[in-house]
Structure 1
Amino acid sequence: MWYGVPWWTKHKTGAHPLLRVPPVPQPPTITLQSPKDYIFDPRENIVIICEAKGKPHPSFSWTRNGSHFDVDVDSKVLMKPGSGTLVIDISGEKAEAYEATYQCLAHNEHGTALSNDIVVRQSRSPLWSKERTEAITVQAGVSLVLHCRPPAGLPPPLIFWMDNSKFNILPLSDRVFQALNGDLYFSNVVPSDTRNDYICFARFPHTQTIQQKQPISITVLENSQSAERAPGFMAPVGASSTQMVLRGQELELECIPEGLPTPEISWRKEGGELPSNRMSIVGYQRTLRISSVVESDAGDYRCTAKNKLGSAEHSIKVTVQASPFWISAPRNLILAPNETGILNCRVSGDPKPKITWSINGMPVDNAPLDPSRKVEEDTVILNHVQSGSSAVYQCNASNEFGYLLANAFVSVLAEPPRVLTPPNNVYQVITNNMALLDCASFGSPMPTITWFKGSTTAIQNVDPYVIHENGTLEIHTAQPVNSGRYTCIATNALGIKENHVKLEVKEPTRILRLPEYKVVERNMDAVFECRVKHDPSLVPTVTWLKDNKALPLGDNRFVVEKDSLTIRDVSEEDKGTYTCIMNTSLDQDSASAMLTVVDNPMSIPQYNQPDPPSDLELTDQMDRSVQLTWIPGDEHNSPTQKFVIQYEDLLHQPDVWVNLTEVAGSGTTARLQLSPYVYYSFRILAQNHVGFSQPSHPSRQYRTNPAAPDVNPSDVQASGTDHNNLVISWKPLTGLQANGPALRYKILWRQKDADQEWVEETVANASRHVVTDTPTYAPYEVKVQAVNDYGSGPEPQLVLGYSGEDLPSSAPEGVQVMVHNSTLAEVHWEPISSSTVRGKLQGYKVYYKRERGVHETEAEAPEGAAPQTVTFGGDLSEGRLPGLRPYSVYDLHVSVLNGKGEGPPSPSRSFSTPEGVPEQPGFLEISNPNVDSLTLEWGPPLNHNGRLTGYTLKYQPVNSTSELGPAKLMTIAANQTSVTLVNLKSSTLYKFYFYATTIKGSGPSITKEAFTVMDTAVGVLCPVCLARPPGPVFGPLNATASEDGAMLNWEYFGQPRNIFVEYTVEHSKEEWKREAVNSSAHSFTIKGLKPGASYKVRVVARDPVTDSMVHSTEEELVSVPAVANRQVDIATQGWFIGLMCAIALLILVLLIVCFIKRNKGGKYPVKEKEEAHQDPEIQPMKEDDGTFGEYSDTEDNKPLKGSRTASNGTVRRDESDDSLVDYGEGGDGQFNEDGSFIGQYSGKKEKDTHEGNESSEAPSPVNAMNSFI
């Protein structure tokens, strides 16, 4: 299951957008709709709102009074484009025609969502019915009611009374009161009430019209003396009444008394207290209002009317009922195929609501049968959902007072994980602050988030790390060691996605050199220093303030530099406090100092702490206060800022001085508030800018008289330590608070709501008291009062506590397990009754233990580890079990927790998790490296997490710049443990990714790198297969010079790195030149060196990332021999002449032999033979692998010195060479009529016939030379 995440998130360095999730199918959701009761003004258009979202965007339709409403038929009705909102033009029409109950339907291919039933009614302001009012004549002092009886409007009107002569609202009082129904009540009338224009007005809010009743006339007859009478009630009538109110609404109770004098009203609730935070008494105490009514507000309320002649009471019995209200509304579900989901529609109400379910607007009983769907009253269970079963479910809960309608879609999606947080985010935080690394994800099934630091270290959810449910990694106190690269991996059954972020923990910014207090002569310069230490990667900016305000703009006298502020040519206006603020992008630090400007150097004062005050005198002595006066000491050129007055209590704490109060630096007297029963001595310290003075000499001792305590003990608590006791504890009073001798504590307690009397106990020198033989976890009211020999403290505050808890006596019942996927299950249980909790419910504890794999029998199962536990706090009835092992059988039970401990376990339930992806293979080893092949061997995963279906191998070459080449994939059977890869490139680094797979997909990979062997005669093992011998990584370097180069040979035993041959001219300042070499090579020839020059050469191994030198051979000196001038006339050389003569003689001998042969054996077309046959000796010669393997290919394939090589790599021959070779070397098939000359002139034995691509290789220069022999 997947839960949404916000599109934007914020981390330490600011806000950044999350990657947008590609659109995924989504059933419709109603986002905005009109209220259930829509009253419209007939002068305006009717607008019935209906907005919805979904993918694809939904279309809309309407019903009216339960039947389809064709919007297109009525020209007065318009539906807004892209919306379901209806606009009905009622101008010129009868508005009553559109009064009806409307419902909006939003639908797309994945389902249909419904709006509430919207009852549309026209507002009305009817006229007052015609009536004839009679003039009223009453005696003074009697009660009177003027009835209003306004017309029933929609919505109901607002009522008020006015007098017609002045059009003023009638003043109200406790004697003259307007009731909630609009009637006007007189508790007793007086002559001034005589008036002929009492008018009741009704204002209708929607139409903004006012209607009025006919005026009422009242004449009050004066009596010589009005008869006083005891109170009674004009409304409600009788001694009691009842009233019903709905939960969540406002309760208004009204009591209107009559009597003379005018009675006063008070309110109370029988057997309970009025809710002070939701209660108000208004209307001259006549009306009690309680907002947001709850069930506990039900009960008997009493209003009491009282005057000097007596009192009267009226009881109102309030019952609370409730229209349906949500306990848990159904939530949208996104499920993967074969997952299980639950829709809960938990409501309450009084009477109990009836719950009905619909699917896409159709009652569930009429919907197509679906065996995966199970409806149980307020719950829909969806087992093993399939693709294409997306829908919108409606839950309707109703009773006689109303209804609730909720839409919840079930979208069946199979989506691999996606990480929504942008890649490569860099988070910066200051040391010791909290760091939050985001990893918002999307997927179905819901991805599991795993964090890694570096490449291999998995982060556990333990200090200092916290992995939040949304994937965010929290480091609550970041340290520099936490800096580095972090990887979050989102995994579900369909794949794996990773994201990399970087955390940089910076040093805090601190001001090391603070600005100092300066006294500067006028017209001189003032310099404040402000040197800061900060993280090298952060750039600080300095800001200077004067008296907490910015420096004056455009004033060039203020010069701000990196570490200082200079004020040139200071004047009197420059004095003040200067603050240096050092800011970085992450933090700041600040420091301040004062500048004082003086007239001349002679006036620069010497500053020091003030002298202590003297002559301390106590006057105007009273029980709780005394007047202290003193004479200030010398200020030493720095004004006194304040005086600190301290006292010593010689009775309770001798030799301890405590700050009592502070006085401004200009003061010399203070009124000190004192406590009783204390032996006081006082002393004073003065403070200026430099510091504090020494303390003054103490005053004479002043003793205050004892008194009763002023305060009671604080922090009073009541709780039990055992199931049958109550421990009452408090914080004792100090000696200064005792106020008198023999301090002790009076403890009072009683069980709440048990009609018990207070139990009292007095203790001394204690801070706790234990009450025994109490019932288990019963509420108690507790008070603790301080007492001494002079009386008791004030009335103590009431504290509520509970006696001790006992272990729960029962276990949860109805334990069920819903398996969501291979690693997540949801457990449900029925909460236990409060009577069996026997304490404060702390939550429920779930024990679950893996017993065995699904494929294992009980006998094959290994010894199980300790069970895992997860605790769900509060009064929950369900919880999730993450991190399960796939393809496993688990045993589970649930117990309840209270403050005492854990109750008995529930009966065990077993459940199985489906297959998941396997763990990574146990190991991966690479052996038998060859020129074009490698052998891989592996071990199976430690945990298969299902039935292993095989392995997947992905490999790709890596070039010298660490770039990856094209990847190849290979599927391998599950029973294989090795494979040999062929047709690989020689001398190439390959990277291998090896996965194990089940039917659910591939698990995490194990990776390795290895080289193939260089294509030489010597089989050099890959570095990963060689055990490095002890000693240096490089063996000795051998260097041999040639005419234009140098041959280098070495041994290398290190890890695969970038290997270079580097050289430079001796005594030259030029940089070293380098040639890249395969890391498996052991020889190299440097070409193009200058003859006669000396070179320093070395072989180095460099880091592939930083290019820094890791290992190096010793430097060798190579001297390239000088070459003599060879530009001579070759025709004059003796050797050349001799060679030509020998060739001529040889040709002559051959011609003679051919001539004799022709005459003897017949005529042979020699020229045709030459053209038709080519000497195999001149064909390319392929050496056997391994022969003379100590030489490299580059050496073997070089032509001999002096030979001419064509551009295609073959040795050129002229026509005379070809014909001579044919006859001199011969071969099978030449002169085959008699065979007399076969093989007689061959330079060597026939070679074995070679297959393959010989014709594409260069001819051996050795064979070419043999043809001349």
Structure 2
Amino acid sequence: MRIRRENQMMKRSLLAFVLATSTLALALHSPTITIQPIDFMNEHAIYSTGSGKVVIPCQTTGSGNITYAWRHNGNPIQLDDRIKILDGNLSVANITASDDGKYICLASNLYGTSISREVTLQVSVVHSLRNISENIIQSSYGSARLRCQISNQTTRMPKPSQIYWTASDDSRVPETTSIAINEYDGDLIFIAGWQNNTGSYKCNVIFKLFDPTTGSSTKIKLTGAAQHVYFKIPTSATPSFAPKIEEGPTDIIAILGQVRVILECISTGYPIPTILWQKKLGPLPNNRYSIEKFGRHLVLKYIQEADAGEYQCIAFSGFKQVSASAKLRVAIDSRWKASITNTNQPIGSDFIWPCSVSGFDIKYKWYRNGQRISGSPQYNLHANGSLTIRHLSPSDAAVYSCQGYNNHSNIVSSGYLNVIVAAPTFIKSPYTQATFFRGQNATLRCTVTGGPRPTVEYTKNGRTIDRQLHNKYTAQLNGNLIIHHVQDSDAGVYKCIASNRYGTAEVSGSAVIKIATTFTKSLTKTFVRRPQGFILSCQIQKDPSLNVVFYWQKEGKNITTQKAVLNVHGLTTTLTYSSSSLGDSGRFSCFVATHVPFAGYETQSSSAMLTVHDIPDSPSDFRYNQVNASSAVLSWLPGNSNNSPLLRYGLTYRVNSNRLSNDPWRVAINDVPPWATFHRVNLSPYNYYHFKLIAINGVGSSKITPSLTFHTDVDIPYHSPGEFRASSGTADGAIIEIRYKPLSRDEMNGPHIYNLLEFKPQAISSSWSFINIGNNGSYRLTGVLENTVYKLRLRPFNDIGLGKEWTHTVTVKTGVAAPTLIPEHFQVYVIGNDSVKLVWSTDALGNSMGTKIIGYRICTFEIIEYVHITVLNSNSDELAIISYWTYDQSIAKTQTLGDVNVATMNHLKHNFSYHFRINAFNCGGDGLLSQTVSQYISRSVPEHHPVFTDSISNFTSSQMLSHQLILQWLAPAITNGIIQSYQINYKLIGNQSNSRKTIAKNTTGNETSAILNNMKLGIYQFTIAARNIHGYGVPVTIRHKVANILAPIRLAATAIERTFIHLSWTVGDIIGQEETQCLDDKF
């Protein structure tokens, strides 16, 4: 018995040696699984009835007799009458819950064992719904949730194919804006319940169970216990319930190409919430999504990698909103990048076996003859999937399997490792006459096999090549020799000599040098606007003795469309499209194939992306939601971006205009993010609004959507009238003149706008008096006390009620004249991202009409920039056209200042222009308003930061010579850009000549001094302002008297010594004083 076993072992060893010493000529036929097992899961899960049957396929080709085995959850399957292997396939009858799990097929022959992919057999068990009845009492308009009671069942419970609820009369409960059925748990949710929703309800669940025998499904229906809900009669006016996310979207992993993915968001509240969706930091997938179930479902279709990201649902109810987010990850099923196949490797070598799988979160396992390989000194498992086997020996000959897998799929490939023990054999020899191209790298073909791995020596023209010259030669493991940077001197006869301990072999061939075929004009990235045609061209240089062939491809396929015309002119080829469509976008490649003697055609290519783009399609489904007195939510669905990413959306509107009106469209907002699908706009009550929407990409603006029209509810006035002023009537000391800017139609907020004048004597402790003064902009208050100080203010009202705010309070003393002059030289300078400095002159005012000026009032009102959306386009002469419209001057804000001539305003808005006006006031009231000064507050972005400079400091003057003046100053501490120059304005003052001309002088650069010559005698006023690229900063003013410099007098010499003299004299300065100067000198 022992001798027989030893003979068997010898036969096996002999067979292993024969296999190990095989050469490449041996045809290897290890088991190859041609039909892989399949999964039975999800909708194809097997229903456990105790009588079902399933067959998991596994078919293989290979040499000799092939035997099969299967594993279940990693353990060998014990075959019996219920579980059988039939021609490799696994047959399982009378399925039970214990059959659930992972399965692998193993196929073996003389060469070894291959394994299959791992598959899942999911066995479903359907349990009855829990028979628990619930009773819920809720206020009307409140929310309620009835449980279907299937969510806590065992994990073997299959996913229902349908869930619906029935009322007590067995009628189905339809989903509406106020009633929802949760997609996953099946719960019935009353978003805002009414009395007629009171009643009993039952949950009905239908399961579709797959029958693998017939390939069809059967249905099972389960019905739960009755659930009761009672909505109480409201005891007061219609209540409101803040919106609440009852069921928010959950993070989900979708498979690339998955047909349908549902993100669910159910919000309760009253008024019934409007639910809108958006993808954060990206647009919703164009033409591959839908909004269903009254906005509660965002359905994504045919999932792509770009769909990964964070999705947000927002529920709006009245003035309130809530949101919830979920992340979608896209899993890519494992696919081969580099599978393993049969291979021959020399004995004694280290072999790296590549295995690479593309997909989502891929991991790897290796098997040898069906047994899992662990890392060891013999085997190195690499994170990239490769396996290194150290120092190959005959015992390493076997079938190896590489499995790439993630949580969703797995694939396996197998190959036989043949360990070679043989003399060298060249399987690829040098060409009889190889062609090397000048300046490029060339490969001398000397591909050799043998075991152990042969050593190869190379000669050229009979002389041994020094392989240590690494910058010139590189010998590869397979025997090929790389020659770097080919020169004419590399021509000649080459020989390769390969040897190991079993023998020697040699081959030879010659090489000639030619001019390389290269591109002198390559393809470049190109953009074309639909439907314009385009021409692509490339040009080459080549060796005159070689022939070339041109051809074109798009995305790796030859171009066959009839609208493409290919031409070749000498060494230039062109591809012409007479017109273009979005589908013509792609990577185009120009190929040139050079015919090389003996070697055939060698190909080079030049590739570049061509993008056909266009303005975006107009947004669709533009609608309004949740309109109230002061706001509305506008929503839309994005159109196709047409191969140019969206940059933003713009909303424009009109107020109280009919559709045929020529009133300009105002810009509500021009930078809505490109991923947004809604925007809440702040509005005024009691107005009819017309809104339009455009989408903007890098090409231009979409067509404008049709106008959306709606009106807002009424409310009390929100603002007080602008430019409220009051002054005493000097002709009659018992009169006060009232002036104001009436609220516009847009700001009335309700029918019949009026103003309530409130006034009272300042010194008397009494209540305010009230008069309705209408809304015409002026009013004369009579019957007041003479020589009395009054406090006055205005408050608007309409038919709804009194307004929210009063004007500022002004004081007026009757019988005293108000200022009659207007502040001069009123200027406004932008000094920061959100601030301005206002400067004016008080010289001309003095004591107006003999009454001292008390202070100044500055009226400010906003202007929104209106931009006609016209994008700069390199293919046209279009320019951006900018115009302005006034938002509403009737609600100007007033700031009251003391007796100053400078003021700073902060916290202004970006992208807004502002109008400013000023008036002086004294105890007699307000003087006249100045002309309007406008200034634009720009956006604070790095590449465009239009902020003016701060003030100059230490501005001084000095006179060294008659009629010459030196001005010096320090540059502003904050320049907000490079100072380009300074402007100096000066004029003679005094001499009873206020009309003397102002002279302007600019420095040539940013120097901080200036010399003025030929100055006439007199007192001058100098004003200086720094200028950067955005304009002039705040000016600084000084005065200086220019006078004659007198000649020195009383020159005398004192203390004369041999080498020293002391001189003294007297000089008169520019204001006539005398000063004694001394000088000591040596000689």
State the TM-score bracket (shorter-chain normalisation): 0.3 to 0.5
Q: TM-score, structure 1 length as denominator?
A: 0.29
Q: Which of the pair has the greater relative contact order for Cα pairs under 8 Å at 6+ separation?
A: 2
> TM-score by structure 2 length?
0.33
